[in-house]
Amino acid sequence: MAEAFRTTTTTTTLLVLSLLVVAVRSDTAATPVTPSTACNETTDPNFCRTVLPSNGTSNLYTYGRFSVAKSLANANKFLALVNRYLSRRTGLSAGAIAALQDCQLLSGLNIDFLSSAGATLNTSANSTLLDPQAEDVQTLLSAILTNQQTCADGLQAAASAWSVRDGLAVPMVNSTKLYSVSLSLFTRAWVPKAKGGKSGGGKKSKPPRHGHGRGLFDATDDEMVRRMALEGAAAAVAVVGEVTVDQSGAGNYTTVGDAVAAAPTNLGGSSGYFVIRVAAGVYEENVVVPKNKKYVMMIGDGIGQSVITGNRSVVDGWTTFNSATFGEFLSPVLGTGFVAVNMTFRNTAGPAKHQAVALRSGADLSTFYLCSFEAYQDTLYTHSLRQFYRACDIYGTVDYVFGNAAVVFQGCRLLSRLPMQGQSNTVTAQGRTDPNQNTGTTLQGCTIAAAPDLAANSAFTVATYLGRPWKLYSRTVIMESEMDALVDPTGWMPWDGDFALATLFYAEYNNSGAGADTSRRVTWPGFHVLNSTADAGNFTVGNMVLGDFWLPQTGVPFMSGLN
């Protein structure tokens, strides 16, 4: 990546502009309106009118707080319903039980998220919220919808879960509508209006920034490797404790799972990280980082050296969600901040086993640096919340980066492998379901190329596409990246007929390489070739994930804006 130049816009000027925008928005949101008027611009006005009290008038702030409180009550009822099904397991297949267990976990997280969002809205001194608070709440409300959709997807995929699915269908649909109304009302009241058109259907439009953000040291990637791997994590970040995993028995633990279990619970970010060093070796285990294991930093001996591997797949009876070799799904109520450095996460199920996840990330403010993710279909599940990947390698075939997080990949390699006969490769399958979700996938300064097995098989003709719309408001932006000739000239692949082609937001900006020519790209209403730095700037680290607020403490180098 070329060295970026630093912005000439002062922090003071940006803050003043931000305050002016919020002040104008605050005056509008504080104006009393009827419930019917408040519902007019939500995603489902008719349903919204059944949610809000029918008499009297209030303002958007009051309606937003009311809707979030009602959503919390609903989330508790939905979890109780799921628990009732799980308590009566007679007649339920293993697949149905697995899908319900996913719903149980996700519903519990929704209660955490709604409690946190409600507390923020009820205790704020003013009706207005400034970044990062406004973005934090929008992130939580976005993730609630993602969690509910994941629950629905798991039950839909479990062919033997018909009776369960039928019993949960109406409560699930109504829950989704209610959560969407809460997000709509919050966005109208607390989030400045987005630009239309190319801002991506709901992403706030902010001044474009250029230049680098840094960790605690003004370091390059190579310098950070030396400091973290050779001098110890304390050379780069604050550390509260450190253990070693070594299969030989020379460390504190012989498995990664045991080391995770030993980490302190609910660490605060100001205290520092609990560091788990993973010595070289192939660790055959499925690891889950529980929601209370916050601020864990995992440092290996390098890509291909410290390897966590498993082989779960949907074909073998696992849900896509729980097929992950490594999963972290942490509650962001007190912050999370998971970091992995110099690690490989692998799923060896193979292409014939279809969905088989190497890593699933649902931890807010999670960071992966100099890591590799290796599988075939659905390699990397960027499930929800805010994530950052720097200088990583991702190998796969079908939809190998998928999910509904707000996520930026910077300086990464996306490497398409040899799929099964008759399959095409799709790099991304972004899962945004609601126009007010602040989610989307950004590839910046990345390389899209063939993995060695595909490159060596010249007789095997495989089309590689940049992405396809998994959900209705799918959003993916690829910018300042290099695309090899394996990228199909049309660039993007439909999911099913004309589904989502008018509502998705796919964009390319200032890319290079033999596959970057946009003259023969799809002509869908939702596809854009961006020519403005202001439009592209919405999807940078500084704007897409507000990285300037939280990435410095990780010690990981990052670029805040555009090249």
> Which CATH number belongs to the domain containing residue 282 in this structure?
2.160.20.10
Number of domains present in the structure of the chain: 3
**Among 190, 205, 222, where does a domain finish?**
190
CA 176 to chain centre: 19
pLDDT value of residue 220: 57
Q: Among residues 393, 399, 434, 488, which one is catalytic?
A: 399
Report DSSP letters for 427-476, one per residue. EEEE---STT---EEEEES-EEEE-HHHHH-TTS---EEEE--SSTT-EE
Asked whether the beta carbons of 555 and 236 are under 8 A apart, the reply is yes
Residues 58 and 183 in one domain: yes
Please choose, from the candidates 298, 277, 312, the residue with its C-alpha nearest in 3D space to the C-alpha of residue 341.
298
**What are the tokens at 119?**
């507390």
pLDDT digits over 40-63, tens only?
989 999 999 999 998 888 999 999
Q: Is residue 251 part of a domain?
A: yes
Residues 331 and 474 in one domain: no
Residues 145 and 285 in one domain: no
Q: How far apart are CA 359 and CA 78, in angstroms?
A: 28
Residues 358 and 270 in one domain: yes
**Among 361, 396, 431, where does a domain finish?**
396
**Is residue 271 classed as helix, strand or coil in its secondary structure?**
coil
Q: How far apart are CA 197 and CA 487, in angstroms?
A: 26
**Among 396, 422, 456, where does a domain finish?**
396
Q: Is residue 154 part of a domain?
A: yes
Residues 178 and 65 in one domain: yes
Residues 182 and 249 in one domain: no
Amino acid at 315: V
Sheet holding 464-467, edge to edge: 287-289, 326-328, 359-361, 380-382, 401-403, 425-430, 464-467
pLDDT digits over 520-530, tens only?
999 999 999 99
Q: Is residue 224 part of a domain?
A: no
- State the residue range of the domain holding 93: 28-190
Q: Is residue 515 part of a domain?
A: yes
Q: Is residue 559 part of a domain?
A: no
Please choose, from the candidates 558, 539, 390, 546, the residue with its C-alpha nearest in 3D space to the C-alpha of residue 479.
539
Residues 59 and 173 in one domain: yes
pLDDT digits over 443-499, tens only?
999 999 999 999 998 666 789 999 999 999 999 999 999 999 999 999 999 999 999
Q: Is residue 213 part of a domain?
A: no
Please choose, from the candidates 372, 374, 246, the residue with its C-alpha nearest in 3D space to the C-alpha of residue 310.
374
Residues 90 and 154 in one domain: yes
Q: Is the pLDDT of residue 369 over 90?
A: yes
Q: Is residue 523 part of a domain?
A: yes
CA 76 to chain centre: 24
Q: Is residue 143 part of a domain?
A: yes
Q: Identify the band that residue 228 occupies on the pLDDT scale cut at 50, 70 and 90.
A: low
Looking only at the bridges linking them, the beta strands covering 281-284 and 287-289 are: unpaired
Residues 267 and 172 in one domain: no
The CATH number for 119's domain is 1.20.140.40
399 is catalytic: yes
**Is residue 384 classed as helix, strand or coil in its secondary structure?**
coil
Q: Is the pLDDT of residue 35 over 70?
A: yes
Residues 455 and 521 in one domain: yes
At residue 525's C-alpha, the angle toward residues 520 and 527, to 5°, is: 55
Residues 299 and 162 in one domain: no
Overall pTM > 0.75: yes
